[in-house]
Amino acid sequence: MLIGIDGNEANNKDRVGIGQFAFGVISALEKIDRKNSYLIYLKTKPADDFPKERVGWKYLIFGPKKYWTQFALPLKLVTQKVKPDVFFSPSHYAPRFSPVPTIVSLMDLWHHRHPEQFAKKDLYQLTAWEKYSVKKAKHIITISEFSKKEIMDIYKLPENKVTVAYPGFTEFRIKPACRQGRNLESRTKEIKNKYNILGDYFLYLGTLQPKKNIEGLIKAFDQVVDRSTITQPLSPVILVIAGKKGWQYEEIFALVKELKLESKVIFTGFISEDDKPYLIAGAKAFVFPSFYEGFGIPVLESMSLGVPVVAANVGSLPEVGGEAAIYADPNQVGSIAGAMKKVLELNQGEKNEIINFGYKQAGKFSWEKCAGRILTVLEKNAKKN
């Protein structure tokens, strides 16, 4: 069987969200499946970390880049002599028309629940293209039971048309770094120095945008922080906010100034995959108080590195964190602050218990499991010759 995949979401240097999902799935499919052949459709040459071409794994690069999904991709699918038996788009957008069965992934539907948080142009693109993709898709892949219920509710789809494939997470390069003579503690110290982080810290990792509830996190941290040390750099605990700027990020920076927390809150910007594991590993806790998440890969990344997790008790996050996270109501600043204080008050035995729960929870997820689930859907829905 020949499987076609739109690889463009994965073909980015700084992957987050859909890009992270697409790359994880594509890489895992190349590892686990030698029975089928794959053709990855791209606008530009594949990134250096993409799987290398081999028999049964090829890249097809073509343009024009503008309106690629609406015109260039459909035209290629129609005109190519050897067509795939099934086409997979690991994003919200299917090709405008396709002569073969198409499977589409939907991550979450936040834009349906809170359209006011999106620019009109972006909202139109999301809703119009997504609606068309859902209509044309033979089957839908999503990333949590929560998202499945959202998709079924908004698009009125039957349960058997939507399949959940839980994402995996990056198995970080800590061990290779250790083999190079740098132990975890010293490498973590290097990364802290790189970002001017002194002392213990809470960590948030993700895009700076409204649904992530970063303003709620900052207000909660303001309740936790020791006000008597507000001007001292070596304070008991600080807050590190790591991630690239999304929409409406200005209010986040303004709030830090308003609360006079400039010496207590550090913004690192986007974090590379090389730096990420050490930044996570050095944290007192990872805090993820989102109003809405389709999944939440950073929760698993943190658990896999032995870091306690504070997460919102809504959306998909209870599915992801299981019994291994400390939960808070994202709509109550006091609840988030209480959960953060709880981490600081843990004795060593309690901390070890949470860490061990985290290891076990993270072990339930992998990109190979995710890809295997998707492969089953692709094979089931492929064109029968």
pLDDT tens readout for residues 300-338: 999 999 999 999 999 999 999 999 999 999 999 999 999
pLDDT tens readout for residues 81-115: 999 999 999 988 899 889 999 999 999 898 899 88
pTM across the whole model: 0.89
pLDDT tens readout for residues 143-165: 999 999 999 999 999 999 999 99
pLDDT band at 227 (very low <50, low <70, confident <90, very high): low
* Whether the Cβ atoms of residue 3 and residue 102 lie closer than 8 Å to each other: no
pLDDT tens readout for residues 109-136: 988 998 888 888 888 888 888 999 999 9
Calculate the average pLDDT of the chain: 91
pLDDT tens readout for residues 261-314: 999 999 999 998 889 999 999 999 999 999 999 999 999 999 999 999 999 999
Beta strands in 313-370 (DSSP E): 326-328
pLDDT number for residue 364: 96
Give the burial class of 92: count Cβ atoms within 10 A of its Cβ; 0-12 exposed, 13-18 middle, 19 or more buried. Answer: buried
pLDDT band at 182 (very low <50, low <70, confident <90, very high): low
Q: What angle do CA 148, 15, 92 make, to 5 degrees?
A: 35
Residue 264: name the closest of 228, 235, 286 by CA: 235
What percent of the chain stands above pLDDT 90?
Answer: 77
Using the predicted structure, report yes or no on whether residue 235 has a pLDDT greater than 50.
no
Using the predicted structure, report yes or no on whether residue 361 has a pLDDT greater than 70.
yes
pLDDT number for residue 17: 86
- DSSP structure string for 146-182: HHHHHHHHHHT--GGGEEE--------SHHHHHHTT-
**Number of helices followed by number of strands (H, E) in the chain:** 16, 13
Domains of the chain (ranges; CATH) run 2-168+367-381 (3.40.50.2000), 174-362 (3.40.50.2000)
288 or 247, which is more confident?
A: 288
